[in-house]
Amino acid sequence: MDVELIIDDVPVTAAAGASLLDVARCAGRDVPALCHHEAVPAIASCRLCLIEVRRPGRDWVQLTTSCDYPVSAGLVVVTNSPRIRKHRGMNLELLLRRAPDAPVLRQLATQFGVTRARFAPVTDAPLPDCILCELCVRVCCALDYNALAATGRGHDKRVGPPFGRTAAKDCVGCGSCVEACPTACIPMADTATTRTIWGRTFELLTCVRCGRPITTKAHAAAMAAGADLPVKSTDLCEVCKARLTSERLASPRR
Amino acid sequence: MSGVFSDPGALSRHRDVLVATEDTRHKVVAVCGGTGCRAQGAMKVFDALCTEIDAHGADRTVGMRATGCHGFCERGPLVKVLPEGILYEHVQVADVVEIVEKTLLGGEVLERLLCEDPVTGQRYRREEDIPFYSHQRRIVLRDTGQLDPTSIDDYIAAGGYSALVRALEMGPTAVLEEVKRSGLRGRGGAGFPAGRKWEACRSAAGELRYVVCNADEGDPGAFMDRSILEGNPHSVLEGMTIGAFAMGAREGYVYVRQEYPLAVEHLDLAIEQSRALGLLGDAILGSDLSFDVRVSRGGGAFVCGEASAMMASLEGRRGVPHRRLIHLSEHGLWGRPTNVNNVESWANVPLILLNGAEWFRAIGTEGSPGTKIFSLVGMVNNTGLVEVPMGMTLRQIIFDVGEGIPDGKAFKAVQTGGPSGGCLSADKLDVPVDFDTLVAEGSMMGSGGMIVMDEETCMVDVAKYFLRFLASESCGNCTSCRDGLSILHDLLGDITEGRGTRETIALVEELADTVEATSLCALGTSAVNPVLSTLRYFREEYLAHVDDKRCPAGVCKALISFSILAERCNGCTLCAVRCPQDAVVGEKKQPHTITQELCIKCGICKDVCNRDAVLVQ
């Protein structure tokens, strides 16, 4: 069901229940967020996507995060105000302690005028530059591998293999976590034939035509098992699959 | 035991039999078996009493009970003799023979074991004469010091489960109306009207719904819920069963901390006993009510007391709060309508049903009816568990029930509401304690922790202590709470260690503002209360730390030094002998001095000095 709301004085129509962050961004508003990905549930961890919202029938304005705020009819939303900038700036300053060199944070700092570093950087994090947003964990769980988890509390919160393991037992080496990580802090090293990630080394599956690596053999097997397909179905890389298709189309036998 | 009660009549016949048996006993000895008294050896006293009574062949005339907490933990182990209500304090195994021979068989009161007034030194004969008890209004805790919590018969004999019978007669709608009219507000901290929450859950769409008892009491120093579960678990089960009847729930959960082994043991036993008598299970007391309770043990995360984190934990996920735009009463455990109340709220329910909403409303204040249990701890003469009517002033609780500050020191502050509550200064002592007033004064009711501080407490140090607790208990989800709290803790560390400036205070205020404004759950939004309330009421103390590099209370080691007043010192050498650093030097019978370079500011010299000659500044 579509509902009407107002974002920064502009009437907007959106699907009820959609993430207010997605809706605001679709409406062309620049709302920063590091822990948000439309494919996984929001946990509102980074606290940057702050907005001000007034619900119909209420006379007070609430400062809140937009990624986990479901759209409903009659909301009046402001995405930029002195109050928002003040708190967003402070949370950005806090995140910069954890990932002072991450390009995405440097860019946001410039954009939002955060020039000071008043707090000592975090030096004891096992995963430098990690902002603990759990996108890696959420992506891994959404793919049903459940190889990663958030553990610990407060300053000691960690993401990675659960139960204090150094190697992620259920990891298949798909690299989706690396793809999702906003600060690119997850180490993944590929050679011509192997991939090392989360304390494990996987054999790579190479394309039968061109020899380029496709993904790990473990990942291919997991995908084939999940889709109930023979493992063979994934032995071509994307480029060769496309080429093969065009070759077939061009084939005179057709 | 008489098998399953097929109807309310069977329950009341069983009660009649129990009461008749009790009548043949002339006396009952109630030994406090609460955790505090157990730690002080109460169960050894209990065993010795049983053996001694048996040896005198008096087991038919004297009943023995290891009960729940009597509340006066300061004086444990406690032994109460009923029906006279004689209360003996600090009872040791060595006292047992005398108690049995003189008091139980001879009817003589042992003067030396009676509770002594910390102020006047007077000894009180009966429990109700002791100021600690006489200023209280114990309704929820009434039976915890009388009943054996492992015996359902004790509970039934004392009228237990008759509130459930009354509820079944009234019907669910009337029960709900009664609870609504009583004005009962949630005792877990927020003070939300229980009746309104029940109504929302009852009218939410769906077949399945749950009632949950929040027993994840995590505040340092708080043991209200623990004591109720340990001392009277059936009162909670009866309350939950009545709630389930009113809301139409068939299943209930008690989420209790793993660190409360005795509470879990007594609760498990109580559930087992209730099932055996048909007070839990299908067709309870022959009615069409079916309800059962399961115990879920938490791993000791403070944040799991937050309802959405608790739901996650109950479902087997990591206990992390999440946004609740839809109330739990509509979308709670496994997406079903769920009602969460804490232990003390549930324990109030049978009392309301039995005595009526008007009786309940007559206690306490208009906006906050009933009583509230506090764990009164810190620098107060009578520490322990107290239950007082809402609206009693802080002064009455601390100076009448608690009988003031030990060693004649001055009151400085009281912290209410647990770690994320606020510290109130002496000029707030006449504030009535109820949900709304405390919030207006910058603190909160919380679940009922009350920590009293004397003049030798440094408020910056106190704020730092609570922040350390909260920073380590933050679930780590929100940037603002996870990192903000640990930085705030470090900034306060700068202030207490002499590195702070006025800019540090400004930065503390700026950061605290963001933590409060942008954290997801109540842990984060209220975690800055200890800092903000101490800055509000004790700002000069912060300024003394940063401007003069001085700790007025003499607590912050980096900012204090110890010296000996020559005119008071008589050279007794006591401090010199005890100093672990050999920092005190001086000839016998001559004034001593402290070598500052060696002094580690442990304070032993000040503690041992008989002439008050050690100066801290």
CATH number at residue B212: 3.40.50.11540
Buried b (16+ CB within 10 A) or exposed e, B315-331: eeebbbbbbbeebbbbb
- On the question of a cis peptide bond just before residue B432, with omega within 30 degrees of 0, the verdict is no
* Coil, helix or strand at residue B419: coil
Q: Is the ipTM of this complex over 0.90?
A: yes
Domain boundaries, chain A: 1-123, 135-249
A69 in contact with B, Cβ within 8 Å: yes
The pLDDT of residue A235 is 79
Q: In this predicted model, what pLDDT tens digit does every residue of B562-594 receive, in sequence order?
A: 999 999 999 999 999 999 999 999 999 999 999
Are B42 and B89 contacting, i.e. CB atoms less than 8 angstroms apart? no
User: Among all chains, which residue has been given the structure tokens 């997406």?
Assistant: B335
Per the DSSP assignment, residues forming a β-bridge with B384 are: B376
Q: In this predicted model, what pLDDT tens digit does every residue of A34-64 receive, in sequence order?
A: 999 989 999 999 999 999 999 999 999 999 9
Contacts of A219 (CB under 8 A, 6+ apart): A172, A173, A174, A202, A205
Q: How far is residue B357 from each of residues B179, B188, B205, B350, measured CA to CA in Å?
A: 7, 20, 28, 11
A94 in contact with B, Cβ within 8 Å: yes
> Cα–chain-centroid distance for residue A98?
17
Q: In this predicted model, what pLDDT tens digit does every residue of B237-258 receive, in sequence order?
A: 999 999 999 999 999 999 999 8
- Domain shared by B281 and B406, yes or no: no
**Mean pLDDT for chain B overall:** 93
DSSP code per residue over B455-469: TT--HHHHHHHHHHH
Q: Which of B418, B393, B414, B415 is nearest to B405 (CA)?
A: B414
Residue B388 has which token pair? 């007082």
Chain A nearest CA to B476, separation (Å):
4
B455 in contact with A, Cβ within 8 Å: no
- Domain shared by B482 and B585, yes or no: no
Q: In this predicted model, what pLDDT tens digit does every residue of A56-78 receive, in sequence order?
A: 999 999 999 999 999 999 999 99
Residue B421 has which token pair? 């509550």
Residue B555 resides in a domain: no
- Domain shared by B295 and B383, yes or no: no
- Domain shared by B213 and B119, yes or no: no
Phi-psi map region of B521: left, alpha, beta (phi>0 left; psi -120 to 50 alpha): beta
Are A132 and B318 an interchain contact pair (Cβ–Cβ within 8 Å)?
A: no
Q: In this predicted model, what pLDDT tens digit does every residue of A204-224 receive, in sequence order?
A: 999 888 888 899 999 988 988
Are B156 and B18 contacting, i.e. CB atoms less than 8 angstroms apart? yes
Q: How far is residue B535 from each of residues B249, B423, B512, measured CA to CA in Å?
A: 46, 10, 11
Chain B nearest CA to A131, separation (Å):
8
B478 in contact with A, Cβ within 8 Å: yes
- Burial of B254 (C-beta count, 10 Å sphere; 0-12/13-18/19+): buried
> What is the average per-residue pLDDT within B541-557?
94
- Burial of B267 (C-beta count, 10 Å sphere; 0-12/13-18/19+): buried
> End of a domain among B127, B142, B166?
B127
- Domain shared by B229 and B320, yes or no: yes
Are B480 and A65 an interchain contact pair (Cβ–Cβ within 8 Å)?
A: no
A55 in contact with B, Cβ within 8 Å: no
> What is the average per-residue pLDDT within B63-92?
92
Buried b (16+ CB within 10 A) or exposed e, B277-304: bbbbeeebbbeebebbbebbbbeebbbb
**A46 DSSP 8-state letter:** S
Instruction: Reply yes or no on whether the pLDDT at B2 is more than 70.
Output: no
Residue B37 has which token pair? 């008294």
Instruction: Reply yes or no on whether the pLDDT at B125 is more than 90.
Output: no
Q: In this predicted model, what pLDDT tens digit does every residue of B368-427 receive, in sequence order?
A: 999 999 999 999 999 999 999 999 999 999 999 999 999 889 999 999 888 888 889 999
- Domain shared by B473 and B439, yes or no: no
> End of a domain among B519, B547, B575?
B547
> Cα–chain-centroid distance for residue A24?
18
Q: What is the CA radius of gyration of chain A?
A: 22
> CA–CA separation, B93 vs B50, rounded Å?
11
> End of a domain among B87, B111, B127?
B127
> What is the average per-residue pLDDT within B262-284?
96
Contacts of B317 (CB under 8 A, 6+ apart): none
Helix pair angle (B162-170, B8-23), 10° resolution = 160
Q: Which chain A residues have a beta carbon less than 8 Å from that of B476?
A: 132, 150, 152-157
- Domain shared by B508 and B575, yes or no: no
Residue B107 has which token pair? 């009817």
What CATH number did the domain enclosing B566 receive?
A: 3.30.70.20
- Domain shared by B164 and B217, yes or no: yes
Residue B373 has which token pair? 């249990």
User: Which amino acid is located at B52 in the chain?
Assistant: E
Residue B416 resides in a domain: yes
The pLDDT of residue A229 is 66
CATH of A1-123, one of 3.10.20.740, 3.40.50.880, 3.40.50.20, 3.40.605.10: 3.10.20.740
- Domain shared by B469 and B506, yes or no: yes
B67, containing H or E segment? strand B62-67
- Domain shared by B165 and B268, yes or no: yes
Instruction: Reply yes or no on whether the pLDDT at B154 is more than 80.
Output: yes
Report the 10 Å Cβ neighbour count for B171.
12
Are B476 and A90 an interchain contact pair (Cβ–Cβ within 8 Å)?
A: no
Residue B245 resides in a domain: yes
> CA–CA separation, B545 vs B542, rounded Å?
5
Mutate to test the interface with A, among B481, B518, B528 (most CBs of A within 10 A): B518
Per the DSSP assignment, residues forming a β-bridge with B253 are: B212, B294
Please give the residue that has the higher pLDDT: either B476 or A208: B476
Report the 10 Å Cβ neighbour count for A13.
11
The residue range of the domain holding B449 is 371-454
Chain B nearest CA to A64, separation (Å):
7
A121-135, B13-27, B156-170: the lowest-pLDDT one: B13-27
The pLDDT of residue A231 is 56
Q: Which chain B residues have a beta carbon less than 8 Å from that of A87?
A: 480, 513-514, 517-518
> CA–CA separation, B410 vs B552, rounded Å?
14
In this prediction, residue B1 has a pLDDT band, given cuts at 50, 70 and 90, of: very low
The pLDDT of residue A233 is 60
Chain B nearest CA to A82, separation (Å):
13
Are B485 and A97 an interchain contact pair (Cβ–Cβ within 8 Å)?
A: no
Q: How far is residue B215 from each of residues B67, B220, B267, B303, measured CA to CA in Å?
A: 20, 14, 11, 12
- Please give the backbone phi and psi of residue A197, each rounded to the nearest 5 degrees, phi first: -155, 145
- Domain shared by B512 and B576, yes or no: no
The pLDDT of residue A254 is 54
**B256 DSSP 8-state letter:** E
What CATH number did the domain enclosing B400 receive?
A: 3.10.20.600
For chains A and B, CB pairs below 8 A equal: 93
Buried b (16+ CB within 10 A) or exposed e, B81-111: bbeeebbbbbbeeebbeebbeebbeeeebee
Measured distance between the N- and C-terminal CA atoms of chain B, rounded to whole angstroms? 68
Phi-psi map region of B583: left, alpha, beta (phi>0 left; psi -120 to 50 alpha): alpha
A253 in contact with B, Cβ within 8 Å: no
Q: Total structural domains in chain B?
A: 5
Residue B1 resides in a domain: no
Are B476 and A153 an interchain contact pair (Cβ–Cβ within 8 Å)?
A: yes
Residue B8 resides in a domain: no
Are A24 and A7 contacting, i.e. CB atoms less than 8 angstroms apart? yes
Mutate to test the interface with A, among B317, B474, B479 (most CBs of A within 10 A): B479
Are A47 and B480 an interchain contact pair (Cβ–Cβ within 8 Å)?
A: yes
- Domain shared by B533 and B587, yes or no: no
A110, containing H or E segment? helix A103-111
Residue B349 resides in a domain: yes
Instruction: Reply yes or no on whether the pLDDT at A234 is more than 80.
Output: no
Q: In this predicted model, what pLDDT tens digit does every residue of B340-366 receive, in sequence order?
A: 999 999 999 999 999 999 999 999 999
Per the DSSP assignment, residues forming a β-bridge with A10 are: A7
Q: In this predicted model, what pLDDT tens digit does every residue of B24-77 receive, in sequence order?
A: 677 889 999 998 899 999 999 999 999 999 998 887 788 899 999 999 988 989
Chain A nearest CA to B5, separation (Å):
47
Report the 10 Å Cβ neighbour count for B192.
14
Are B426 and B395 contacting, i.e. CB atoms less than 8 angstroms apart? no
A154 in contact with B, Cβ within 8 Å: yes
Are B582 and B538 contacting, i.e. CB atoms less than 8 angstroms apart? no
3-state secondary structure B290-357: CEEEEEEEECCCHHHHCHHHHHHHHCCCCCCCCCCCCCCCCCCHHHCCEEEEEHHHHHHHHHHHHHCH
| Residues in chain B, overall count | 617
> What is the average per-residue pLDDT within B305-329?
91
B544, containing H or E segment? helix B539-547
* Coil, helix or strand at residue B383: coil
Residue B530 has which token pair? 């200890």
Percent of chain B surpassing pLDDT 70: 99
Chain B nearest CA to A154, separation (Å):
4
Residue B142 resides in a domain: no
> What is the average per-residue pLDDT within B201-229?
92
Phi-psi map region of B566: left, alpha, beta (phi>0 left; psi -120 to 50 alpha): alpha
Residue B450 resides in a domain: yes
Strands A194-197 and A200-206: what pairing? antiparallel
